[in-house]
Amino acid sequence: MKTYRIHLIRHALTKDNLDGIYAGRTDSPLCEEGIVQLRDAKDKYIYPEVDFVFSSPLKRCTETAEILYPHLKPIVMDGLTEYNFGEFEGQTAEVLHEKQPLFDRWIRGEEGIKPPFGESNADFANRVCSTFEKMVDGIIKSGTDSVAIVTHGGVISTILSNFGIPEASVSQWLTPSCCGYTLLVSHFLWMSGKKVEVIKEIPENPDSGKDGNYYDGWDYYPDDDDFDISEYLNDFNK
């Protein structure tokens, strides 16, 4: 039976990322460090070939998509936009802890608590999941073999915590910049349980000695993994 591949890729670094700032809807472009990191990763490692590229409308995602796939015009999807942090936007966790009484309760995940003028966790999850379901249904209906989705860390972790196998919480699906996961979509598994298999890490290491770096649960311990993302990130911190 035909299967389909969806490649979730987190955008490259922005200055807000480097400064530790909450910047969900803030339309920050990639910073120079992020562009260098992404181009270097593209040169050293392997990003998947795809038929189409979907992207969040924010610059950091469309710019990442254009660097990785210059021959494909990104298809922008508003539902792939990052969390709306409301009044938390533009602030660090340290500042919010001191000045925003709701921040600590929001971080703890208390039900009904959301950033002032922002998005609730439930609303965010509903938006992202609804968008992803429509995309998968469209991919299956059209018979498209392979697509990339260039989006945000919060969007990726939400998709995987709701649809991914192996099953894991949002906090266990944290994704470094320029990195991601390959998902295998089977018609039966999707139609019967709305689930997708997480099968590979992105980008792939051409020197891994096997057919790609298959997902075995990133644990950030280099000795336990043929290609650990922590090793990849450390290359840029030396």
Per-residue pLDDT tens for 167-223?
988 888 989 999 999 999 998 999 999 999 999 999 988 876 555 555 555 444 444
Supply the pLDDT for residue 223: 46
Asked if 70 and 90 sit in the same domain, the reply is: no
Domain that holds residue 99: 86-118
- 116-138 pLDDT per residue, tens: 999 999 999 999 999 999 999 99
Asked if 133 and 51 sit in the same domain, the reply is: yes
Asked if 127 and 170 sit in the same domain, the reply is: yes
- 79-109 pLDDT per residue, tens: 999 999 999 999 999 999 999 989 999 988 8
Asked if 30 and 73 sit in the same domain, the reply is: yes
Q: Which of 5-14, 73-82, 110-119, 142-151 has the lowest mean pLDDT?
A: 110-119
Q: How many domains does the chain have?
A: 2
Collapsing DSSP to helix, strand or coil, 170 comes out as: helix
Q: What is the CATH number of the domain that holds 25?
A: 3.40.50.1240
Contact status, residue 86 vs residue 137, Cβ threshold 8 Å: no
Reading across the β-sheet that carries 75-76, which strands appear in turn? 75-76, 52-55, 146-151, 3-10, 180-186, 196-202, 164-165
pLDDT band (50, 70, 90) for residue 11: very high
Asked if 179 and 138 sit in the same domain, the reply is: yes
Asked if 166 and 194 sit in the same domain, the reply is: yes
Contact status, residue 157 vs residue 174, Cβ threshold 8 Å: yes
Asked if 97 and 9 sit in the same domain, the reply is: no
The helix or strand, by DSSP H or E, that contains position 34, with its residue range, turns out to be: helix 32-44
Supply the pLDDT for residue 111: 86
How much is the pTM? 0.88
Asked if 172 and 219 sit in the same domain, the reply is: yes
- 47-78 pLDDT per residue, tens: 999 999 999 999 999 999 999 999 999 999 99
Asked if 7 and 112 sit in the same domain, the reply is: no
